[in-house]
Amino acid sequence: MIEHLTSPQDTYERLMNEASDSRRKRSLQSINDVCQLLHERNSSDFTYKTIITLGQDRGLPVPGEKSIVNATGVHYRELIQAWKLASRPKASKKADSNDWVDHIEDSVLRMSVTLLVKELRALKAKEARKAKQSGAPIILGSAAGQAFSTQPRLNDAELAALKAAIDPAALGLVGLSIGSRGELVDAKGRNIHKPGFRDAIEKVLSVQVR
């Protein structure tokens, strides 16, 4: 559709050229100014009520809702729709499961948790690459009749990172703790990682340190 291809500014300029009187031009300019402000705020609320209220708060001569919705207000609706389409969120990437970190209010805590998450993410990626490259199947029944594994072993730094992720003392320094079900929680009791987080890491460590 054309409305998807035409920018709000192009639509505004065309409608201004087509406007037959100064009152309509002033109303179009006011609507355009308000919509541009909403766009700059990354708002998705382009309802007539919001536009009118915001315009009136700034002393702009925005038209009333009846003037927008009636048959003669098609030019106002077209301009609003152009801004609404331009302000739709772009096709987003897959949601980041760690976007909760950005909502931590304490800046020091947020930085510490960010570093911890990055460290764990890097560790997971490294192990995934190793597993992909080696195929690393688990082989049962060695010559001694005992089970053994050819899975990659973690080095000392990697083991230390995992241990720190569930160490009460280390977590306490950044306002985190382990809950009763093994979940990682912040100072306000909000879940950072799901129940079983501690248990999963302990199982990995129990295999790696044998």
Read off the pLDDT of residues 139-180 as tens digits, 9 standing for 90 and up.
Answer: 555 444 444 445 567 777 777 878 888 888 888 878 888 888
Place of tokens 């100014």: 33
Overall pTM surpassing 0.85 (yes/no): no
Asked whether 113 and 176 are in contact (CB, 8 A), the reply is yes
Rounded to an integer, what distance in angstroms lies between the CA atom of residue 46 and that of residue 190?
33
Range of the domain at 25: 2-86
In terms of domains, do 119 and 204 share one?
yes
Read off the pLDDT of residues 96-125 as tens digits, 9 standing for 90 and up.
Answer: 566 667 777 767 677 777 778 777 888 888
Number of domains in the chain: 2
In terms of domains, do 109 and 38 share one?
no
In terms of domains, do 112 and 183 share one?
yes
Rounded to an integer, what distance in angstroms lies between the CA atom of residue 181 and that of residue 83?
48
> Which of 56, 86, 116 is at the close of a domain?
86
Instruction: Classify residue 93: in a domain, yes or no.
Output: no
State the amino acid at position 206 in one-letter form: S
The DSSP secondary-structure symbol of 62 reads: P
Rounded to an integer, what distance in angstroms lies between the CA atom of residue 16 and that of residue 6?
15
